[in-house]
Amino acid sequence: MSKMPKIVKDLTGDNHLIDEDIKRMEGKTVKQAIRGTRESIKGVHESEVLYIEFTDGDILAIDTGSDLIQIKSKTKPEEAHIDFMFTWDPETPSS
């Protein structure tokens, strides 16, 4: 794991809903994963999205959200914040 990004702060427990999304993935087997560009949303930055389809039929989309709208020209890169957003397909088996 030496080439993996290093986690410097464990966020487990920071957001109960995200923790539930992460736990829902545990023990599942990935059938396929598709990466692409998210459909444009007016007033929102472009984003990639990752769809993960599991062998039990569940589908999870992971994309990003940020505070980029608040960034001013003098904002330092380390002051920007990017979040993962998890969306489970409500029409799949576990939903």
Q: What are the residues whose beta carbons fall under 8 Å from the beta carbon of 45, sequence distance 6 or more? A: 66, 68, 69
Res 10: pLDDT: 85
Query: Strands (DSSP E) along the chain, which ranges?
Result: 30-37, 48-54, 59-66, 82-88
Label residue 46 by pLDDT band (50, 70, 90). confident
Summarised one tens digit per residue, pLDDT across range 12-25 is 888 888 889 889 99
- Does pLDDT of 85 surpass 90? no
Share of the chain above pLDDT 90, in %: 32
pTM given for the model: 0.74
Stretch 30-40: mean pLDDT, rounded?
Answer: 92
